[in-house]
Amino acid sequence: MNTIIAQRNNPASAASIRTTTMTQRVSGLLRREFRFLHKPLNVWSRLLLLAAAVTIGASLFFPLWKMHLVAPQYSDGLDLYIFPYKIQGGGLNGQHLNEINNLNHYIGMKPLLAADFMEMRWMPFVFGLIILMTLRSVVFGEMSNVVDLFAVYSYFGLFSIGSFWYRLYEYGHTLDPHAPVHIKPFTPMLIGVKQIANFREYSFPQAGAYLLCVSVLLIGLAGWFSRKETFA
């Protein structure tokens, strides 16, 4: 109250007063932020986080993505499933992967080999790390853990999608110039439907990806439910 009066009566000191006010406001915000980050997580939030950890773990057992290729000669379609740790063809013994590679060799595309996908080696590790961070939030029970988790998880998610897109770009743009069939370089569809020569490509997320989305939602809700928690 004194500050406001002083401000009115002394225009010269107004600037310094404003600075002081600003500093106080930022300090207040930071205090609130600090208090928020140190908010305890209530039991509901912790349960939601636990559920998120389970969901992330479960997602490892399902494909993240599926590419489905249909042509007149392949009316049942050829399927390619992308798991966090492997790529797998559909059909008997995963035969569709061989078939896709076989067809791609005509346009000079490199064969899709699991060994070439180094992200498939570190992705399970990152999944583990995120599960550990989630469990850490459950145990430590502090809002900051949830924020950490959310930030790292989002970064990982966006990076993975970007890397996946880049993979597709690279495969479609690194074509052997001596291949029997010359086609214009292209990027296979990440999400959606695209016609490539006689094939119609359908590319969509699968159960694994949906589970991960659910886990993000659960983490968000965990934060939301404890937003008004105070220290008792």
Nearer to other proteins, 81 or 153 (CB): 81
What radius of gyration do the chain's Cα atoms show? Answer: 26
Q: Per residue in 41-55, is it b (16+ CB within 10 Å) or e — as a string? A: beeebbebbbbbbeb
The distance of closest approach from Cβ of residue 74 to other proteins in the complex, given in angstroms and rounded to an integer, is 9
Nearer to other proteins, 110 or 136 (CB): 110
Number of residues located near other proteins, criterion CB under 8 A = 9
And the tokens for 214? 């659910």
Task: Give the list of residues 6+ apart from residue 32 with CB closer than 8 angstroms, or none.
Answer: none
**Residues numbered 100-129 forming contacts with other proteins, rule: CB under 8 A:** 102, 106
**Residues numbered 188-227 forming contacts with other proteins, rule: CB under 8 A:** none
Give me the 77-96 binding string for other proteins, x by CB under 8 A, dash otherwise.
--------------xxx-x-
User: Does residue 34 touch other proteins according to CB under 8 A?
Assistant: no
Q: Which of 72, 177, 180, 192 binds other proteins (CB under 8 A)?
A: 180
Closest CA to 183 of 74, 72, 106, 83: 106
Task: Give the list of residues 6+ apart from residue 83 with CB closer than 8 angstroms, or none.
Answer: 60, 62, 63, 64, 120, 208
Residues engaged in binding other proteins (CB under 8 A): 91-93, 95, 98-99, 102, 106, 180
